[in-house]
């Protein structure tokens, strides 16, 4: 193959570069004379975007969470623990529900209204396209209810795993953790007490000393959720109290479904726990005991009186009686009689001077008679409890009491006069008020509107009563004249109102009516002007007469 002809021989590839060309090192040093063009950007926004992904991101740990808790102090403590864990993980706990990406709803199953609020909140969250996690006693007791389908649930003993459930829910998954905490087959009190917590009140620490109870009350739905008694060890409770005081807490609330039953499952008792706790309460701090049922405090009355007299323990105790009828208490399966309750109250009132005793009463329990109710009234009158919680009986699904013959919510034999003025929101009744301005719902009879009628009260609800009009009672018409129609303008001359009523809707008639109205207004104005002019003339003449009299008298 013939070789290519060249004028000079190239020994190396670098020989291609002539003597006048820049060497590589020369090109490198020449860069210092190049001024780069700076592209401006919002550094602050850049850093913010780098550190804070958008709130609608599916990356867990950056979303805003709104929490709502219903019910007892035990439930509130659970809510504080869940909020603390979520905040520690990076979620923002917000007070603004509309700004939140996820709603955590912590429910109560004691009464129907609490569950109704819970259900309505779920519906609202769904309407606003919020992610939802459910907690508390309602989903724990009945997780298969229709309105809970497809929603994530965190069980009452699984609150230490709330971050996992929220994470998966943010990703679009539905998670349900409803198991029980156990150690070697033995049920534990619940999640660990040393979890992060956000206290609603930084000065108050709520400590759940046990979960569940030993009773089987026929009306109680909470038992289905919290189960049988499971107590925390004394040393864990004392450690939690110490930690709380180190964080600035000055008041501790002990709570559970029944504090009096504490320790029976682990070989100890409530007084033993309380004496250990008072040892670590600093000066200036206080301890408050929670609710206890009568049976489990009877055998500790002496020790309990001593503890309630301690200077760092509130002289306060909540002891529910529910009814002063032994027959009703038997149907409730309360495991005590009225005499037991009185023994507890009498002893504590004697041994702890000035003690505040709170109690609960359920009205309208199935089978309760008027005599039963009167016995409860007598008990209240005898002891004059400074704190008294009265509740209407609600048949909770799945409880034995729900299957008993129910007592209708009635006020029998009471006759009242009511004034009918409105229509109910659901358009099923007319709304009237008695002389105490209590709301009474009456049938929608058009002849009743605007009238004073006499009714027999046959049913009562939380915010209303229902009345049946008395058949032979007289209907009173308070107003002499017929009331104006809805939307009709008041203050118009009768002639103009009649003409307005005769031409309801046509354009020409409306224009004519408008002109007539303008004319009427002009006539009224002229009439007023004449009246004002006559008044001024009269005043002027009176002043002139006074002046003449004055001058005549001085002549």
Measuring CA to CA, how many Å separate 105 from each of 112, 119, 180? 16, 10, 20
Boundary residue ending a domain (181, 211, 238): 181
Alpha carbons 365 and 74: distance in angstroms, whole number? 25
Last residue of a domain, one of 125, 147, 181: 181
Residues 6+ apart with CB under 8 A from 441: 424, 429, 430, 431, 432, 464, 465, 466, 467
Is the same domain home to 260 and 141?
no
Residue where a domain stops, chosen among 148, 181, 214: 181
Are 153 and 231 in a shared domain?
Answer: no
Strand 286-288 and strand 316-318: pairing?
Answer: unpaired
Same-domain pairing of 245 and 140: no
Look up the CATH number of the domain holding residue 95.
3.40.50.12160
- Residues 543/549/554/555 CA torsion (nearest 10 deg): 120
Q: Supply the CATH number for residue 348's domain.
A: 3.80.30.20
Residue 228 located in a structural domain: yes
List Cβ neighbours of 450 (8 Å cut-off, separation of 6 or more). 420, 421, 477, 478, 479, 483
282 HSE (CA, 13 A, CB side): 12
User: In terms of domains, do 173 and 235 share one?
Assistant: no
Is 453 part of any domain?
no
Share of the chain above pLDDT 90, in %: 63
Query: For 65-69, 391-395, 550-554, which range has the lowest pLDDT when averaged over its residues?
Result: 550-554
Q: Report if residue 329 sits inside a domain.
A: yes
The pLDDT value recorded for residue 552 is 73
pLDDT tens-digit profile of 76-115? 999 999 999 999 999 999 999 999 999 999 999 998 888 9
> Are 244 and 329 in a shared domain?
yes
Which pLDDT value is given to residue 180?
A: 84
The reply to whether 220 and 268 lie within a common domain is: yes
Q: What is the pTM for the complete model shown? A: 0.68
Within-domain flag for 310: yes
Query: What domain count does the chain have?
Result: 2
**Are 67 and 79 a contacting pair, CB within 8 Å?**
yes
What is the overall mean pLDDT for the chain? 84
Rounded to the nearest 10°, the torsion over CA 478, 479, 485, 491 is: -140
Query: Which residues form the domain of 81?
Result: 60-181
Same domain membership, residue 388 and residue 338 = yes
- If one compares 523 and 184, the residue with the highest pLDDT of the two is 184
Same-domain status, 141 and 216: no
The mean pLDDT of 514-519, rounded to a whole number, is 54
Q: Which residues pair with 288 in a beta bridge?
A: 253
Give yes or no for a contact between 206 and 186, defined as CB atoms under 8 angstroms apart: no
Mean pLDDT of 451-458: 91
Main-chain dihedrals φ then ψ at residue 16, nearest 5 degrees: -65, -30
Residue 168, domain member (yes or no): yes
Q: What is the pLDDT of residues 312-358, one digit of tens each?
A: 999 999 999 999 999 999 999 999 999 999 999 999 999 999 999 99
As a three-state string, the secondary structure of 284-309 is CCEEECCECCHHHCHHHHHHHHHHHC
Are 177 and 210 contained in the same domain?
A: no
| 544 in a structural domain | no
Give me the pLDDT at residue 409, please: 63
Q: Do 147 and 206 share a structural domain?
A: no
For residue 457, what is the enclosing H or E element?
strand 452-460
Q: Does residue 430 lie in a domain region?
A: no
Using one digit for the tens of pLDDT, what is the confidence trace for 380-431? 999 999 999 999 899 999 999 999 999 876 656 688 999 999 999 888 899 9
Q: Same structural domain for residues 209 and 356?
A: yes
Over 80: is that where the pLDDT of 298 sits?
yes
pLDDT for residue 175:
93
Pair 363, 316 in one domain = yes
The answer to whether residue 393 sits within a structural domain is: yes
pLDDT value of position 189: 78
């Amino acid at each position: 193959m013939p070789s290519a002809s060249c004028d000079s021989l190239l020994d190396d590839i670098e020989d291609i570069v002539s003597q006048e060309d820049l060497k590589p090192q020369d090109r490198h040093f020449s860069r210092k004379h190049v001024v780069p063009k700076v592209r401006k950007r919002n550094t602050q926004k850049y850093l913010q975007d780098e550190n804070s992904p958008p709130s609608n991101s599916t990356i867990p740990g950056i979303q805003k969470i709104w929490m709502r808790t219903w019910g007892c102090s035990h439930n509130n403590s659970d809510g504080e623990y869940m909020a603390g864990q979520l905040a520690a993980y990076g979620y923002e706990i917000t007070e603004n529900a509309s700004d939140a990406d996820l709603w955590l709803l912590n429910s109560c199953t004691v009464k129907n209204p609490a569950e109704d609020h819970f259900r309505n909140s779920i519906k609202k969250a769904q309407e606003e396209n919020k992610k939802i996690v459910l907690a508390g006693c309602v989903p724990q007791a009945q997780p298969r209810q229709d309105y809970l389908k497809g929603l994530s649930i965190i069980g009452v003993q699984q609150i230490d795993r709330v971050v996992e459930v929220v994470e998966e829910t943010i990703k679009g998954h539905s998670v349900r953790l409803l198991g029980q905490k156990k150690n070697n087959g033995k049920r534990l009190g619940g999640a660990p007490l040393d979890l992060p917590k956000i206290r609603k009140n930084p000065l108050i620490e709520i400590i759940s000393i046990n979960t569940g109870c030993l009773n089987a009350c026929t009306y109680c739905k909470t038992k289905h959720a919290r189960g049988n008694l499971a107590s925390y060890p004394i040393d864990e409770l004392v450690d939690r109290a110490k930690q709380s005081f180190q964080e600035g807490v000055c008041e501790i609330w002990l709570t559970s479904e029944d504090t009096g039953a504490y320790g029976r499952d682990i070989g100890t008792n409530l007084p033993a726990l309380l004496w250990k706790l008072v040892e670590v309460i600093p000066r200036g701090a206080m301890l408050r005991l929670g609710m206890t049922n009568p049976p489990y405090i009877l055998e500790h009355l002496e020790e309990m009186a001593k503890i309630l007299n301690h200077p760092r323990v509130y002289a306060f105790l909540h002891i529910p009686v529910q009814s002063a009828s032994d027959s009703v208490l038997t149907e409730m399966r309360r495991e005590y009689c009225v005499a037991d309750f009185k023994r507890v109250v009498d002893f504590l009132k004697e041994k702890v001077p000035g003690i505040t005793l709170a109690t609960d009463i359920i009205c309208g329990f199935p089978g309760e008679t008027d005599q039963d109710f009167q016995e409860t009234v007598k008990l209240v009158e005898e002891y004059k409890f400074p704190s008294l919680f009265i509740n209407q009986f609600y048949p909770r699904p799945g409880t034995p009491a729900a299957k008993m013959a129910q007592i209708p919510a009635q006020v029998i034999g009471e006759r009242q006069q009511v004034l009918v003025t409105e229509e109910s929101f659901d358009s099923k009744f007319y709304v009237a008020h008695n002389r105490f301005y209590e709301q009474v719902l009456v049938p929608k009879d058009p002849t009743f509107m605007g009238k004073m009628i006499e009714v027999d009260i046959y049913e009562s609800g939380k915010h209303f009563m229902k009345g049946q009009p008395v058949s032979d009672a007289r209907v009173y018409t308070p107003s002499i004249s017929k009331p104006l129609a809805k939307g009709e303008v008041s203050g118009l001359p009768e002639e103009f109102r009649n003409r307005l009523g005769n031409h309801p809707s046509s354009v020409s008639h409306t224009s004519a009516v408008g002109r007539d109205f303008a004319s009427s207004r002009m006539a009224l104005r002229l009439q007023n002007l004449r009246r004002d002019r006559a008044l001024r003339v009269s005043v002027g003449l009176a002043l002139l007469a006074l002046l003449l009299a004055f001058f005549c008298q001085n002549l």
